[in-house]
Amino acid sequence: MKTALRLPSASRKGLAMQKLRAYWLLSKPRVTILVWLTTLAGLIIGGWGQTLSAGLIAATLIGSWLVIASANALNQAYEWRWDALMTRTAQRPIPSGRITPQEGWLVGTLWGVLGTLTLALGVNLPVALLGAVSILLYAFVYTPLKPRTHFSTVVGAVPGAIPPMAGWVAAQGEFSVEAWLLFALQFVWQFPHFWAIASLYREEYAKAGFCMLPYADATAEATARLAFGYTLAMVGISLMFAPFTTYSWLYLLGALMLGLWAVRAAWRFLKTPNTLEGARGVLIGSVLYLPLLLVWMIISL
């Protein structure tokens, strides 16, 4: 009689840890952390001067994490074939074979349902609706549009801008000018960020058939010029927060300094659009600019 081959306990534990790590990577943890921190910032800014319950804070942070992770997981489950064509994404969990596309869909859906329910039951319905809309737009509108139209970047920027607004609405229970300013800031911020990545990986995106540049056949010069213009708009929106802070002069000082830093990086990209250094400077600057500005905003409250 044949006996089933049983793996040693240590091997089973090792395989389980590898699977858990693959699920963790399915959430795009670095992206999720950055976006999740903007939800936290929105919650702090919106809740400043109030006493928020521990349950509401926990539900906001857990639910928003699950929603963001869900959108990223479903995105990978949909476009894993395209990811396999690009060096920068070929080692993601699905194209590398560590998990199946079906697992990606299942895990992403589970995270989305749990996240939305957590926000609905533990926070409020408007925040839950924002979470559901962000998943639907990112995974089922933006992602399918990427190989079809350059307008996909605009669509993708909408769910990308929802998290800080959701944090504010979680604290305040309603929408307000401040909530829309947080949305506008993060919406505009994404374009120089996206286009810097598109410039750095222009050939890989073209190989996969993704339309990530501002428009069809956009030159490096045109991309840098638009990135510079949107950076100026981003800085302008950031200054509009001053009337809502206690120490307006302090906020303006910091926002101007950070804004000049971002503009300087975009200007270098504009002057050297065909070099990797210019696009990389905008990318690094954008990743640092947003969290630093939000922290400075909190300090100025």
Interval 28-41: pLDDT, tens: 999 999 999 999 99
Q: How confident is the model at residue 13 (pLDDT cuts 50, 70, 90)?
A: confident
Count Cβ atoms within 10 A of the Cβ of residue 244 and give its class: 0-12 exposed, 13-18 middle, 19 or more buried. Answer: middle
| Residues 41-88 pLDDT 10s | 999 999 998 999 999 999 999 999 999 999 999 999 999 999 999 998
In the chain, domain spans: 18-175, 177-301
pLDDT of residue 10: 58
Distance CA 74, CA 161 (A): 18
| Residues 105-154 pLDDT 10s | 999 999 999 999 999 999 999 999 999 999 999 999 999 999 999 999 99
Residue 5 vs residue 137, higher pLDDT: 137
Assess contact for 60 and 167: CB atoms under 8 A: yes
* Alpha helices in the chain, H assignment, sequence order: 9-26, 29-46, 54-83, 101-122, 125-137, 143-145, 152-172, 177-200, 202-208, 220-239, 248-271, 276-300
Cα 120 to its chain centre, rounded Å, is 22
What's the pTM value of the predicted model, to 2 decimals?
0.91
Average pLDDT over residues 273-294: 94
State whether the Cα torsion 76-151-131-191 is positive or negative: positive
Supply angle C-alpha 282, 42, 247, rounded to 5.
85
| Residues 247-265 pLDDT 10s | 999 999 999 999 999 999 9
Q: What is the mean pLDDT of the chain?
A: 93
pLDDT of residue 1: 45
% of the chain surpassing 90 pLDDT: 87
Assess contact for 25 and 97: CB atoms under 8 A: no
Q: Which residue in 77, 130, 103, 105 sits closest to 20, CA to CA? A: 103
Q: Is the pLDDT of residue 195 over 50?
A: yes
CATH superfamily of domain region 18-175 = UbiA prenyltransferase (1.10.357.140)
